[in-house]
Each structure stands twice: as C-alpha cells, then as structure tokens.
Amino acid sequence: MKCTSSRFGSFEIDDKSILAFPSGLLGFPDHRRYVMLDHDTDAPFKWLQSLDEPALAFVVIDPALFHTDYRVTYSPEALEEVGSMEADELTLAVILTIPSDDPGRITANLRGPLLMNPRTNLCKQLVLSDDYPTRYPLFPVESLESGSNPQPVPTVACPA
C-alpha cells in the first residue's frame, strides 16, 4: 500500500502492518488506521503515523523503558476490542509530547496508553484513572535543573 505523510513523504507499507483503532484515538475519533514507523537510529522512539490524515503522527515509546512500575489492568471490553483474552500477548505504548523549544522536557501520557495486539493489529487507547499523569517527565526534573544535558530526540526519516 502506498502512503503519504507530511513528515515522511510517500512510502510503501505492507497491508499486514496496518494498525486499526476501531474507536480512534482521543481527539481523533475518525482517524482509525495507523502504521508504526521506526526511527533510523538506535533510539527507542517510534512514530505512529495516521494513514487517514498525512499530517497526523505521534511519537510513542514503550513505557517499560522508562517507568518500571507502570502497571495497567485491562478490562474485558478492552481485551475484546483488540481481539485477545490473553494480556501477555499484548503490547503497550504511550504518546510523547516533545516541546519544540526544550526537547529535554519530553513527557509521556501515562493516563492514555495504547493497547496493541500484534497478532490481530487491533488497538485501543485506554483511559486510566487520575492516578496516572498525562505529562510524566521522561527525564528527571532535578537533572535538567542541575545543568546536565539530556540527549535530544534525533531527527528521523521514514524507513524505505
């Protein structure tokens, strides 16, 4: 399938790599088809690119890489929507916010993780309790204020 993105231009993807969000994402209910694109570096960040809107893409990351205590309980309805009754076959990602004026202050939305079933490619954005912040800092604020310099998010191109 040929795709167009305002960020990555035109590129081909295998139809089997299309991720379907039957309920859409919060704020984007009509955009239901996405593809996950890797960075061309060793960075753990990925792009969730909309196939329905070329200008819509989110930077995402596996929350286990920066928050080892992050635990999510899946409702039976959520499991049904992604076509699974086995939580251990599912993956999670969280959407990042990267301020253009200060990339070191990246935050993750822990309240709205993306539940994904790699077997069915069905996905759902969950809405968790207020116990989880929508802007959880990836880098400790103390290290930013003490003058240490976090690694910036690299600029990437869409894989060929």
Task: Count Cβ neighbours within 10 Å for each residue of 127-136 and write b for 16 or more, e otherwise.
Answer: eeeeebeeeb
pTM value is 0.84
Residue type at 124 in one-letter notation: K
Structural domains of the chain, with CATH = 2-145 (2.30.290.10)
Structure tokens at 70: 């992050």
Could you tell me if 25 and 116 are in contact, meaning their C-beta atoms sit under 8 angstroms apart?
no
Could you tell me if 8 and 38 are in contact, meaning their C-beta atoms sit under 8 angstroms apart?
no
More confident residue, 138 or 125: 125
Q: Is the per-residue pLDDT at 145 higher than 90?
A: no
Check residue 153 and give its pLDDT. 36
Q: For 69-104, write each residue's pLDDT tens digit.
A: 999 999 999 999 999 888 888 999 999 999 999 988
Check residue 31 and give its pLDDT. 96
